[in-house]
A and B are shown apart, each in its own frame.
Chain A
Amino acid sequence: MIAAIQRHGALVVLVVLLAAGGLMFRTFLTAYTLGNLAVQASFLAMIALGMTLVIISGGIDLSVGSVYALAGVLAAYGSTRWGLAGALILPLVVSGVIGLIQGTLIARLRMAPFIVTLCGLLFARGLLQLITSEGSTTYLVPAGSAFRWLGDGTVLVVIAVVAYLAGGVVLQRTPFGMRLFAVGGNEDAASLMGLPVARTKISVYVISGLLAGFAGVMSAAQLGSGVTVIGVGLELNAIAAVVIGGTMLTGGAGAVSGTLAGVALLFVIQELINQLGRFNSNMQAVVSGAVLVVVVVLQTLLSRARRQR
């Protein structure tokens, strides 16, 4: 029972808030409002999916916000030079390589994930500034480019849903998923069992980099340009979504479905505050922080109660 609440806590709160929103505002439970929310949430959803896998492996990835912004700029640049292929390949290769380097430093040289990915955050942001001449050059996706259809709202949401389905299957039904839980639960034990610990950890950072990169590609397709100022603090939102979704930062347990509910919850809360209209944007941050505290405390207490039984 407690396990179920903890596992689906975010979902329960989400349903309650959606119902409350529907009762308070006639426009809330409409395809238009919810559709808009889904499109806005699709970028964070992609990033939080990768973050979930990293956190299950016992690590953390602070670089995702910067990689997201960097990939967006690279996608726009790529689309101006080499069309659709450039818009996809260039950013994904770069973000994949950043993930590979981070994963290698963490898994092979046993450096702390927090520090390595913090460096990744600075490095990717610096690289982004470098290729945009300190933020003064903006790359625009050519108007008729085939790349633009990717930015269509429906396409974005479909991509995110497919990514989550794939993520769920990989985590629950494949040897890789099993290894991930084993490595995050007890690295020494996993190593003694002969599991390829280092390779598993490296893969997870590559996946996280690729997903953050792809979210950046999606943003460039939607916005029609590479925006240099986006993604600051996004890693923290992603971590929040993962934790709200019931995945503990200690690693070894978790599910992508919870993260999806966590992402949705963050956006529904935001939308409710918007609709209430009584709060200015500063007050919204206060409310978001307070909600985060409540949800996280509940999650922690529930998972503790579950462990003591």
Chain B
Amino acid sequence: MSSASTLIRRTAIRDYGVYLALIVLVVVNVVITPNFITTDNLRTQLVQVVPTLVVALGMALVIGTEGIDLSVGSVMAIAAALLPLYLGYGVVASILVCLVAGALAGLLNGSLVTFAGVQPIVATLALLVGGRGLALVIANGQLKQLYNPDLLALGSSSVIGIPLTVLVALVLVVIVALLVERTTFGRQLVAVGGNRRAAEFAGLPVKRTLLTVYMLSGVFAAIAGVLASARLTASDPSSLGLLIELSAITAVVVGGTPLTGGRVRVIGTVAGALLMQLISATLIKHDVPASVTQMLEAALIAAAVLVQRERRNGR
């Protein structure tokens, strides 16, 4: 009886801990942070979390297959570098080029993982190293101001008070949630991550699933690159997306998707990204030095994962 209730309590903390932490942090902020509940502030927080959130959505899918994608930051930079090159053909064409580049980057990662059998961390590491260089080569190493009014509108305009970039992120969240929960592809993804060999024996299209997942991650990273550039009103291939792979992985894991694969928690990932954003925003607002912020974040990530860890935890 007592052990059963302990188990239920532990499961509850594991599954809902991230929401609980988010609620607690919001309440704390309402109490201690002046001007926290203002539309301006909430809007700023949401706009700032968009790139990490979008990247994390793709990352959640990859991690669901027991993979990882370290190349997302470099793919963002590649997209940012390509964006100004094709603006002459219109914003849509230019963004399409970026998305295709993201898909190709994902195809490269996915092929290395699927056909060559290279471990995901190493396969995507190569693109992390090479991709940033490629972005700088494309952009000739320069930061470019973006002047296209349509693109700038994407970064700064709002619909019924909600910033456009936030709406885009919201749509992507819904799409990924439906993909995972309601489609055959989603079930195959989880099956591949749970036990790849069993999925192969069951006749599931394992290779196609893995390729698709890495391509989706690449496309999402490219979208994040476009959205971030539109908001910055500049294409900055040298620093855009630097270390974002770590924030995205953190959001996914804090949100309850285990690194061992076999489960994808989309809404948890959203909560994880919001939680990380809110933690750093809170600390900055209260003039905590960046160094202490970083150390506290590390401790909080460790605490979150410690709470969620399962009895049989691999690596």
Is residue A166 contacting chain B, with contact meaning CB distance below 8 A?
A: no
Binding site secondary structure of chain B:
helix
A192 nearest CB across to chain B (Å): 15
Within 8 A of B (CB), among A234-275: 236, 239-240, 243, 248-250
Is residue B148 contacting chain A, with contact meaning CB distance below 8 A?
A: no
What are the residues of chain B within 8 A of A239 when measuring CB–CB? Answer: 121-122, 125
B196 nearest CB across to chain A (Å): 13
Within 8 A of B (CB), among A116-160: 116, 118-123, 125-130, 134
Q: Which residue of A lies closest to B246 (CB)?
A: A118
A122 to B259, CA, bound (A): 19
- Among A60, A110, A282, contact of B141 (Cβ-Cβ < 8 Å): A282
Known interface pairs A118-B246, A286-B130. Does A300 touch B117 (Cβ–Cβ under 8 Å)?
A: yes
- Among A123, A126, A236, A283, contact of B129 (Cβ-Cβ < 8 Å): A236
Is residue A80 contacting chain B, with contact meaning CB distance below 8 A?
A: no
In the complex, the answer to whether B315 meets A249 with C-beta atoms within 8 Å is no
Is residue B92 contacting chain A, with contact meaning CB distance below 8 A?
A: no
On chain A, the number of residues with a Cβ less than 8 Å from chain B's Cβ atoms is 49
A120 to B246, CA, bound (A): 12
In the complex, the answer to whether A111 meets B313 with C-beta atoms within 8 Å is yes
Q: Using CB atoms and an 8 Å cutoff, list the residues of chain B in contact with chain A.
A: 68, 70, 112, 116-119, 121-123, 125-134, 136-137, 141, 246, 249-250, 253, 259-260, 289-295, 297-299, 301-302, 305-306, 309, 313-315
- Among A112, A120, A127, A249, contact of B122 (Cβ-Cβ < 8 Å): A249
Is residue A59 contacting chain B, with contact meaning CB distance below 8 A?
A: yes
Known interface pairs A129-B290, A129-B291, A243-B122. Does A110 touch B116 (Cβ–Cβ under 8 Å)?
A: no
**Chain A 265-309 near chain B by CB (<8 Å), digits 1 or 0:** 000000000000000101111111110110011001100100000
The 10 tightest CB contacts between A and B, nearest first, are A289-B130, A285-B133, A129-B291, A126-B294, A126-B295, A122-B298, A282-B136, A130-B291, A119-B298, A123-B298
What are the residues of chain A within 8 A of B116 when measuring CB–CB? Answer: 297, 300-301
A286 to B130, CA, bound (A): 4
What are the residues of chain A within 8 A of B141 when measuring CB–CB? Answer: 280, 282
What are the residues of chain A within 8 A of B259 when measuring CB–CB? Answer: 112, 114-115
- Among B112, B121, B295, contact of A122 (Cβ-Cβ < 8 Å): B295
Q: Offer 13 A-B interface pairs, CB within 8 angstroms, sorted by A.
A: A111-B305, A114-B68, A115-B302, A116-B305, A122-B294, A123-B298, A236-B125, A283-B137, A289-B131, A296-B122, A300-B117, A300-B118, A300-B119
